[in-house]
Amino acid sequence: GQQVMQIPQYQHVQEGEDFTTYCNSSTTLSNIQWYKQRPGGHPVFLIQLVKSGEVKKQKRLTFQFGEAKKNSSLHITATQTTDVGTYFCAGYDRGSTLGRLYFGRGTQLTVWP
């Protein structure tokens, strides 16, 4: 069945270092979404990628969608303590029976000051 794998599960960085999380799907995705969940909070939508090879930027965050639409990445440049949280990718597979979003397990980011 459909699976979305996300690595790493945990990442600890010092403030100012870069951070990357990777998402891989077992099937071709129609689109992929990224969410951020602060400690104790709920997931908040960050961005959606739809096109093959698409790259989008939000300030220090860069999101990529692979050419085959099976993988994606989120890169944060020069992390800050406000970046702390868990980052989830979620893929939409139009061909799936229920047409639902498949969430990765998330990457929990800790930033040391």
Partner 1 sequence: SQTIHQWPATLVQPVGSPLSLECTVEGTSNPNLYWYRQAAGRGLQLLFYSVGIGQISSEVPQNLSASRPQDRQFILSSKKLLLSDSGFYLCAWNLEGPYNEQFFGPGTRLTVL
Which residues of the chain form contacts with partner 1 (CB under 8 A)? 6, 30-31, 33, 41-45, 48, 88, 90, 92, 94, 98-101, 103-106, 108
- The three-state secondary structure class of 83 is helix
Q: Which is nearer to partner 1, 59 or 94 (CB)?
A: 94
Q: By C-beta, is 57 or 105 nearer to partner 1?
A: 105
**Distance of closest approach, residue 16 Cβ to partner 1, in angstroms:** 26
CA-CA distance, 21 to 85, in Å (whole number)?
Answer: 12
Q: What is the DSSP string of 47-77?
A: EEE-STT-EEEETTEEEEE-TTSSEEEEEES
Provide the minimum distance between the beta carbon of 101 and partner 1 in the complex, in angstroms, as a whole number: 6
